Chain A
């Protein structure tokens, strides 16, 4: 069923009896051409692109839990292309372009809202660094504006401009950035992929891989063995566990990242704001809740929940930046497993095992990459060659020294 205003009106006048489940619940077949492990945003976007752009047939997406239950439903919904380095910025610009056309492409309201992202600076040195970053963004067509203190005050009068230690001096505004309803992204991709014949199989965990003579032959699952010539892995925080089934070690540590939402408030925050002196970022959802987060907890974790010291740190950052939120009540906090890579940038590449492909290492920033990740990973699965935009995201960069380390902190995942 194609969604439109006329469909809504028609269903409204006929008692909403015509709506149907948006994807099928198939039982797994014995064999597929391509299996995508992981039914998160990246896995679904990959399956959709593979079927739509590359004409792939007989594709299955396997999901251990349920669609929308992993990181695609746990992030803070921000999309942006405000990176500095050459390996990253063109990729995220591609992603932003795909976000801009996503709703029409999927025929699904994912509530793409380009409300802008403002990175605040608090010192001369930080302003210079943001100017440089803004120039890199403009060179790749992503757009950037450097605002001074008065321009920021006009936009966000409630900030604590005269904080004694970290006064707000201005900000780097990325107007095309914003937020997207994350559950709708999962559902929209799942619906569009299913319409193209992709089998979305939930409650199906991978338990092993069948590899013969250095080539993948299929996988073992909790719902029986499935044969496949090509297998793509896009499982975020569980990357190391799944790839260990193929005997691989990864340049990845799994960490926990927390996020929080307050009770609903009247509209107050018009865009996405990041605090440049601590680690705190915030936006306001359409329901009114302030959605915010900060640093990862900083130790290896598969727990999908964090600890109190980080909550305290995040909230301190929020209070330093906008004291007005002090009496807002926290509604929920949760954690997601992030696959922190050794240079803070992702990996989308072939593996030493023929037919097995890997997509991971997204750190805490996988959501914004969803459409481009699916786009380039589908290209890799279909053609066996990396997409030109993602040529830097290779395993061998750790051997050759071509790291993409935005923060320049080295092989220390909890600092990225």
Chain B
């Protein structure tokens, strides 16, 4: 698989480490009333779809950026790759 890195261009997926579903960006508030339930779902539960999947890849053998890659889990086709920091900022996170 070739990942189209937004800064570095096409890179072999072997340069990356895979973490999992991009929902891991949205870490729940540990001080909230329902934090035990929220963290159970955050840490353990996954949608695990067949088809388009947004997922986190870390460019360990490259510029060490985190990417959100949209990939089809049935065909392994990669549809797009974005910097995870951009997505986190869009969601109101500081970084």
Chain A contacts to B: CB under 8 angstroms: 238, 240-241, 244, 249-254, 298-303, 307, 309, 342, 398-399, 411-414
Contact = CB atoms under 8 A, between A and B. Distances in A.
Contacts of A300: 20-21, 48, 53, 55, 73
A414 B17 CA distance: 10
B48 A250 contact: yes
B46 A240 contact: yes
B73 A303 contact: yes
Contacts of B74: 302-303
Nearest to A339: B48
B32 interface: no
A253 B73 CA distance: 11
Contacts of A241: 48, 50
Chain A: interface secondary structure? mixed
Contact of B20 (A253, A303, A307, A309): A253
A414 B18 contact: yes
Nearest to A243: B48
Contacts of A398: 40, 43-44
Nearest to B36: A399
Interface of B: 1, 13-14, 18-21, 40-41, 43-50, 53, 55, 71, 73-76
B46 A252 contact: yes
Nearest to B75: A303
Contact of A254 (B1, B44, B73): B73
Given A300-B55, A398-B40, A413-B20, A307 B46 contact: no
Contacts of B50: 238, 241, 254, 302
Q: What 4 A-B pairs are tightest by C-beta distance, nearest first?
A: A240-B48, A251-B44, A302-B50, A398-B44
A411 B44 contact: yes
Contacts of A252: 46, 48
Given A300-B53, A411-B43, A414-B18, A307 B48 contact: no
Contacts of B44: 251, 342, 398, 411
B48 A253 contact: yes
B1 A307 contact: yes
B47 A240 contact: yes
B59 to A, nearest CB: 14
Given A298-B18, A299-B55, A411-B43, A254 B76 contact: no
B73 A250 contact: no
Contact of B76 (A249, A307, A342): A307
Contacts of B40: 398-399
A411 B49 CA distance: 18
Contacts of B1: 307
Contacts of B45: 249-251
